[in-house]
Amino acid sequence: MYDLVIEGGTIIDGTGAPGRPGSVCVTGGSIAAIGDAPADARERIDATGLVVAPGFIDVHTHYDAQAFWDPVLSPSPFHGVTTVVGGNCGFTLAPVARDSDAQYLKRMLARVEGMPLASLDAGVPWGSWRSFGDYLGCLDNTLAVNAGFLVGHSALRRAVMGDDADREASAEEVAAMQSLLRESLAAGGLGFSSTLSPTHNDMDGKPVPSRYASAQELCALAGVCAEYEGTVLEFLPGTQQFDERVYQLMTDMSLAAQRPLNWNVFVPGNPATEDAQLRATDYARERGADVIALTPAQPVITRINLHSAFIFDAFHGWEETMRLPVPQRIEALKDRALRERLDAGARSEESGVFIFMSGWAGYTVDEVFLDRNKPLEGRTIGDIARERGATPFDTLLDLAIEEDLRTSFIPLLYGDDDAAWAGRVAAWRDSRTVVGASDAGAHLDMIDTFSFTTQMLGRAARQRKLLRMEEAVHHLTQVPASLMGLTDRGLLRTGYRADFVLFDPDTVDCGPTYTRPDLPAGAGRLYADAVGIHRVFVNGVEIVRDNAHTGALPGSILRSGSDTRTVAIPGAYT
């Protein structure tokens, strides 16, 4: 007798093959059979009119802290996600060598990943672990979804070098980092992650520790992954203007690890960078390595402010000013000569991909903090500037200064037209990419890309019909599972874990974004409800029914070697 039979639905198995009618039978948390409905089952679910698909996999999240205060890891499972990977960009909560390291990592996460410091203070049991293995142990048997975590470079550097992590490491310090990484991977870390991104700065406005690493250090740490089964690499190269130096670094890291390297992030639609970025994969594969681009599934609506300075500090020539404490920053931004330099720097080619965000007139005022400015919400800086007889850049800075730099702005929204969606789908189909870039758990007041699965299914497949529903499911399941080397997830196949989602192909979508004040210490976050996601199962247990958590926490902490296998390079993930 089976534990559960889901019958009457259309099975989309994750391979991209056409959907077919049939039943999925579950025993002991695994798929026992697929086909005709048997007579005997303890529970039967009628899925008539619904698609039965493998649970969706999100390879780029920052749920490392949220996992302690929200065991559901919302809103991801409500959008059909059953497996997440955290520890990206070199940012993890472990390992730590001393209490001061934990304090540094907490403050760094607040700045670089947009997690309210008060929530991190109130919601995370700091001091409960030192090693990466102990961190994973704290999360065992506590989550609704499956979760695995990469080992972050900044945490490794801080544990070994302490306050001196803001310089190049010695050979002895690199060896100590390698030893600590070995210990972390042996305990189940899924691989190694790092960043050189100029947007990644700590609470003091200084580059995060990994940004001080040499190419030799990066390759030495990547090479540790070669010693452990089922490990991978994740990396931010620090520039959108790719050249042979970037190609060579990512290729060398992949070769050292003998693993694919997933880099973040490839945004299609910019002819000046697009071909050169994808060429990184060709370059690597010609040399026996593999480099795979992470690419978004939807337009990215970004909310930014000059208080946190995230994104602003990536403009050419802005970093020094954005490092200043807020009172000094305000005074500096009043200077006419500095304003002219900042404006020119933002518009210069040296700003790389961020140059598209220097169109100040197209910025929309998203949120203000003084009652007298409330009428400005929803208006563009260009309109306000014309009304005031000022330049758009001066208008933006003057408004921000008036509100102690807290004013929230949305840069010019782009990418929601037919051509942009077609370009996005073409990127998903490219063997050099994997869909993701959700950043779920991070930038909580800034982006809503956590809903990438329902946006992909609802906007690209259902509404615009740019790809079949089967193909969309394939990119959300088998492709990321193959890249991560997940052994028994990503497909509806006998013997695989019973992670699946039941959704309505005629209504699936993402609802509007709004703010929910449900973080620890009363802080708010952006949120969006799913539409058409009826039921979600993890390891054979229902965790979501009609946008509500059932209370079940059947998720597994995924560990390298036991839950993953080594992926050959070069590989094919489509």
- Residue 394 CA to residue 407 CA, distance in Å, equals 14
Domains recognised in the chain with CATH numbers: 2-55+495-558 (2.30.40.10), 57-301+415-467 (3.20.20.140), 312-410 (no CATH)
DSSP 8-state secondary structure symbol assigned to residue 457: I
> For residue 391, what pLDDT band results from cuts at 50, 70 and 90?
very high
Q: Which residue has the higher pLDDT, 196 or 515?
A: 196
- Residue 234 CA to residue 574 CA, distance in Å, equals 19
Q: What SS3 state is found at 155?
A: helix
- What value does the CA radius of gyration of the chain take, rounded to a whole number of Å? 23
Please compute the mean of the pLDDT values over residues 220-236 and round it to a whole number.
98
Sequence-separated (6 or more) residues with CB below 8 Å from residue 81: 55, 56, 57, 58, 145, 440, 453
- Residue 526 CA to residue 516 CA, distance in Å, equals 6
- Does a cis peptide bond (omega within 30 degrees of 0) precede residue 541? no
What number of other Cβ atoms are within 10 A of residue 374's Cβ?
Answer: 12
Q: Which residues pair with 45 in a beta bridge?
A: 6
Please compute the mean of the pLDDT values over residues 466-495 and round it to a whole number.
98
Over 460-512, what HEC string results?
HHHHCCCCCHHHHHHHHCHHHHHHHCECCCCCCCCCCECCEEEECCCCCEEEE
Q: Which residue has the higher pLDDT, 406 or 334?
A: 334
The percent of residues above 70 in pLDDT, for the chain, comes to 99
**What sign for the dihedral angle of Cα 42, 43, 46, 47?**
negative
Of the listed ranges 86-100, 250-264, 313-327, 385-399, the least confidently predicted one is 313-327
Q: Which residue has the higher pLDDT, 83 or 205?
A: 83
Question: What does the pLDDT look like over 507-517, one tens digit per residue?
Answer: 999 998 888 89
Tell me what pLDDT residue 574 has: 63
Tell me what pLDDT residue 86 has: 98
pLDDT for residue 286 is more than 80: yes
With vertex at residue 236, the alpha carbon angle to CA 230 and CA 242, rounded to the nearest 5 degrees, is 120
On whether the CB atoms of residues 50 and 545 are closer than 8 A, the answer is no
| CA proximity to 61, closest of 93, 103, 89, 94 | 89
Please compute the mean of the pLDDT values over residues 102-129 and round it to a whole number.
95
- Residue 304 CA to residue 370 CA, distance in Å, equals 17
Q: Which residues pair with 526 in a beta bridge?
A: 515
Tell me what pLDDT residue 351 has: 86
pLDDT for residue 413 is more than 70: no
pLDDT for residue 199 is more than 90: no
Tell me what pLDDT residue 321 has: 96
Tell me what pLDDT residue 343 has: 97
Question: What does the pLDDT look like over 428-450, one tens digit per residue?
Answer: 999 999 999 999 999 998 889 99
pLDDT for residue 303 is more than 90: no
On whether the CB atoms of residues 351 and 314 are closer than 8 A, the answer is yes
On whether the CB atoms of residues 163 and 572 are closer than 8 A, the answer is no
pLDDT for residue 572 is more than 70: no
- Residue 432 CA to residue 421 CA, distance in Å, equals 18
Question: What does the pLDDT look like over 508-559, one tens digit per residue?
Answer: 999 988 888 999 999 889 899 999 999 999 999 999 999 999 999 999 999 9
Tell me what pLDDT residue 513 has: 83
Structure tokens at 436: 């993701």
Tell me what pLDDT residue 309 has: 87
pLDDT for residue 417 is more than 90: no
- Does a cis peptide bond (omega within 30 degrees of 0) precede residue 95? yes
Question: What does the pLDDT look like over 16-49, one tens digit per residue?
Answer: 999 999 999 999 999 999 988 777 899 999 999 9
Tell me what pLDDT residue 143 has: 98
CA-CA-CA-CA dihedral for 8, 10, 13, 16, to nearest 10: 170
DSSP 8-state secondary structure symbol assigned to residue 534: E
Tell me what pLDDT residue 440 has: 97
Distance of alpha carbon 468 from its chain centroid, rounded?
25
Question: What does the pLDDT look like over 143-191, one tens digit per residue?
Answer: 999 999 999 999 999 999 999 999 999 999 999 999 999 999 999 999 9
Please compute the mean of the pLDDT values over residues 206-233 and round it to a whole number.
98
Average pLDDT for the chain: 95
Tell me what pLDDT residue 165 has: 97
Structure tokens at 353: 């991909």
> For residue 301, what pLDDT band results from cuts at 50, 70 and 90?
confident
**442 phi/psi in degrees, rounded to 5:** -125, 165
Q: How far is CA 477 from CA 14, 245, 274, 311, 481, in A?
A: 6, 33, 25, 31, 6
